[in-house]
Amino acid sequence: MNLKIDTRTTEGVTVVSCAGRIVFGDEASALRSELKTILNSSKKVVLDLSEVSYIDSGGLGTLVGVYSSARSAGADIKLAGLGQRVRDVLQITKLVTVFEVYDNAQKARAAFR
């Protein structure tokens, strides 16, 4: 698997840092599973994608699916630290209008206050 997921909670906000590629298969499944577990206990989640080098349609589908589940459960997910390639993919697919996107995890965390 080419995706490393690290989680930490600060001031009631859970930051999930991803490093590697978010692609269809084990990577997208692992991220989906991790986020669903986190959303059972945290309603404020920042997904830090600053170390993500690539995302494919399976990864985008995972983000949208988890975001939709979070919103219907009264939770919120914000994206942070998008690299140029990931930012371009979100802009091309118009998903940048769905997610709240911040330059870094600190700014995304601050937006919950």
> What is the CATH architecture of 3-111?
2-Layer Sandwich (3.30)
Are the C-beta atoms of 23 and 80 separated by less than 8 Å? no
Note the pTM of the prediction, 2 decimals.
0.94
Q: What is the pLDDT of residues 8-62, one digit of tens each?
A: 999 999 999 999 999 999 999 999 999 999 999 999 999 999 999 999 999 999 9
Q: What is the pLDDT of residues 68-78, one digit of tens each?
A: 999 999 999 99
What DSSP letter does each residue of 40-80 carry, written as one string? Answer: TT-SEEEEEEEEEEEE-HHHHHHHHHHHHHHHHTT-EEEEE
- Which DSSP symbol is given to 10? E
Are the C-beta atoms of 18 and 47 separated by less than 8 Å? yes
Domain regions of the chain by residue span: 3-111
Task: Read off the amino acid at residue 29.
Answer: S
pLDDT at 2 over 90: no
Percent of the chain predicted with pLDDT > 90: 96
